[in-house]
A = this chain, B = another copy of it.
Amino acid sequence: MALSKKPVNGMRDILPAEMELRDYVTGVIKDTYRSFGFTPIETPCMENIANLSNKQGGENEKLIFKVLKRGEKLNLETATAEADVVDFGMRYDLTVPLSRYYANNSNNLPMPFKALQIGSVWRADRPQRGRYRQFTQCDIDIIGEPGNLAEIELITATTTCIGRLGFEDFEIHINDRRILKAMAAYSGFAEREFDNIFIILDKMDKIGADGVAAELAADGYAQESIGKYLARFALLADKRDVKEGVSALAEALGIAVSAKGNLESANKATSADSAVSASSEASAETVADARSEEYLSANATSEKTVIITNTSISGASVDASPAAAESVSSLAELRAAIDAVKSLVEIATAVEAAKGAKFSLVFDPTLVRGMSYYTGTIFEIVMPGLGAACGGGGRYDGMVGKFTGKDVPACGFSIGFERLILLLAESGYQIPERPKRTAYLVDKKCTADKLADVMRQAKEARESGQQVLVVRMNKNKKFQKEQLAAEGYEEFVEFFA
């Protein structure tokens, strides 16, 4: 049988020029992340198939390349389902393997653990231009840090990295799953519907508010909830600065928030916070007063504390809504949203202070992120002129617990490695500080002794940092040199017998 020259369908060979770029980018990424104290780790490319089919991976679980059982374990005669013949699968991301790795090795790992993983993942997507079935992911994760120091470090490290590759004027969009939930609860959607609602909301940038409204209506949700939901997003649409954005959000949800929103006010907020259950019994009028008094002003210089208003919880509008029975859970959602709002302001403050690149941190209330495992902050890299996100991540405090029975806080950020490479390649990016390339052309008549001399000379040049290619001189020397020049060889030395 003739052998196939082509790579398997949907995967590809990487040619030297691209590979050089990939290696350079990988080096910058590793150096940068190491300087932030992230330590590289590696997991096998295969996982037990049950680990990959635990409903955490969303759509990706449908795209697993499965590995056939071997030897006596394989019985094709009696097999009727895939599960009968499969024991392993190729990983579709690096987050599931990391969680398993942490569960397996936590006794031998620092706490918190800052991991860097760069590796291939596989998804049996329909092959299409620019999307491959094997591609590189590049993740940093902090496991065991419950506070937003994790988010701050992840965002600072990742943006520094992207900046060092020459990108500027990009954006980091940030949101929090707790805010998404509070917005949905506030609008009267039932909690069991949140996942579906978020999937539709996620299309906002593609189909617009009208499109989202139409899809929500098509799925049978109450027009009142849809209207309330989208009105809140409309209020936030042009609030891109994080502090402005979350303040407007708080207003939209009936929360007043400190203009400064730093840890001091957060601490005060904690005590004010305990007044929530009490105030939830108060009348709408009292709350409205408190709201006007504490209302956020962008120019405020005095510290203000966070107060929850209960209009949305005990007010008449809620009684009339389908979510009336869920007012207690809505209260929990709002409490969580307050934490999220405080946290986002803190993150923005620290990230702004330690910026290692030209970028903007932007509050994006419509940011959803596909994976169902996220529990808190979520973020995404948005590059100018690129239709899709160039990476993202968030907090997933529940995943390690799937392996150990005990939850461990975790937060990660994944750079869109393949998209970065594509952007750099298309922009004609030149790798800086490349070693000098010299080609030694050796006449075919050279004796073994002469060749030994050539090798000795090459040794010295190589030790001095040059890249030296020793090749036989072709008959068409001019053509040979042109080819070598195209590969980046600048100098040619000829050796004759």
Contact = CB atoms under 8 A, between A and B. Distances in A.
Contacts of A100: 3-5, 7
Interface in A412-453: 435, 437, 439, 442, 444, 446-453
A252 B459 CA distance: 36
A350 B455 CA distance: 7
Interface string A443-475: 010111111110110110011011111111000
A324 interface: no
B455 A11 contact: no
Interface string A366-394: 00000000000000000000000000000
Given A85-B76, A263-B446, A462-B35, A472 B149 contact: yes
A43 interface: yes
Query: Which of A48, A402, A448: most chain B Cβ within 10 A?
Result: A448
A462 B357 CA distance: 14
A468 B36 contact: yes
6 contacts: A13-B104, A65-B88, A110-B484, A153-B470, A263-B448, A356-B459
Interface in A311-352: 345-346, 349-352
Nearest to A132: B44
A279 interface: no
Contacts of A176: none
A469 B37 contact: yes
Interface string A241-272: 00000000000000000000111101000000
A67 interface: yes
Contact of A5 (B7, B23, B70, B103): B103
A13 B101 contact: yes
A459 B403 contact: no
A280 interface: no
A290 to B, nearest CB: 24
B349 A449 contact: yes
B65 A5 contact: no
Contacts of A90: 67
Shortest 9 CB-CB contacts between residues of A and residues of B? A37-B469, A353-B452, A354-B455, A263-B447, A262-B448, A11-B44, A16-B39, A14-B42, A346-B448
A145 interface: yes
B39 A452 contact: no
B35 A19 contact: no
Contact of A79 (B46, B50, B76, B453): B76
Contacts of A225: none
A358 to B, nearest CB: 14
A41 to B, nearest CB: 6
Nearest to A466: B35
Given A13-B101, A403-B3, A470-B37, A451 B350 contact: yes
Contact of A13 (B42, B86, B351): B42
Given A39-B19, A105-B15, A7 B262 contact: no
